[in-house]
Amino acid sequence: MPTIRISFQLPYFLLLTNGEYDTPIIGGSVRLTAKSIRTADGLDVKRTVASSFFDIPNDTDAATREEQRRKESYRLLNRVNHLLRWYRATTGDASIVELTRVSASPFWFALKGGRTNWCEPLEYEPRSAPEPRLASVPTGRKIRKGLNGGMEPDVATLNLLDAEYALSVGRFRDAVLLCWGAIDSTFVRKFDSLVDSKMEGDWPPALEFLKGFNFGLRHKMTSGLRLLGGRSLYKEPDDYWKEMTESYRCRNRIIHEGAAATEQEAESAITIARKMVDVVADL
């Protein structure tokens, strides 16, 4: 059973000694090594290389090997990002941010103890940026209308744009929180307007209860929305409710426990928030 070394070069030089750094919360450890490289401008600079090891059976087929490569790249990246969070907190260096799969790649694979490549490097392609949602009305005219209306742009729209940027630069926690700010803003405003329009003239304390904190967000998104708008998010297809619940737990862990978020959790939060904006628009 061969032992494989997986590695990638950070875009930074970390002021740490070469060696093994345990990451028990994430699992395993990461080895850091300083490396000198020459830039396109002919300058000699230092960078830090992160690596770890894993075993794989000799008779592994191509599909299993590819799956293993991706799993190990996620594991190594999660360990490095955990280390980078501690590095930032300890040094106060705000220029060091967590890495995405794209900014970390390519990931290199070699047989332990030698320089022989085990397989081709693994490189992640940049995510396609969402197409700008330009309406038929000319942009300049819409901007003038918005400016003259005396209001600010929609909070959810700006939060989602900020979340996409946060994801691209490795601020995964920020991306999750921005998305849930967009979800809260979009859904709660719509739910409150449905209560006011569908139950106009009803007993005021009952209306305040439906719009208040005692009638929880998940109750509003399910039974409350079904009664008022004929649609329950619990009934949405493609496991939307399950994914939203997991993302909500991630959001709570960040707020109440100071937990981290992964790139995948940030991506999931953006997908969920976009779907929420679309759902609300249809109500």
Sheet holding 29-38, edge to edge: 19-22, 29-38, 44-55, 3-9, 108-111
In the chain, the amino acid numbered 93 is: D
Instruction: Mention every residue, 6+ apart, whose C-beta is less than 8 A from residue 111.
Output: 2, 3, 4, 5, 118
Handedness of CA 205, 154, 277, 252 (dihedral sign): negative
Cα distances from 42 to residues 14, 35, 38, 39, in angstroms, run 21, 16, 6, 5
pLDDT of residue 130: 58
| In the chain, domain spans | 3-111, 139-282
Whose tokens are 């979800």? That residue is 183
Distance CA 40, CA 146 (A): 46
Distance CA 266, CA 260 (A): 11
pLDDT of residue 257: 94
Average pLDDT over residues 191-198: 93
Confidence of residue 135 (pLDDT cuts 50, 70, 90): low
Range with the poorest average pLDDT among 80-89, 109-118, 196-205, 231-240: 109-118
pLDDT of residue 13: 96
Pick among 1.10.3110, 1.10.3470, 1.20.120, 1.10.730: CATH of 139-282: 1.20.120
Range with the poorest average pLDDT among 130-144, 165-179, 205-219: 130-144
Q: Is the pLDDT of residue 137 over 60?
A: no
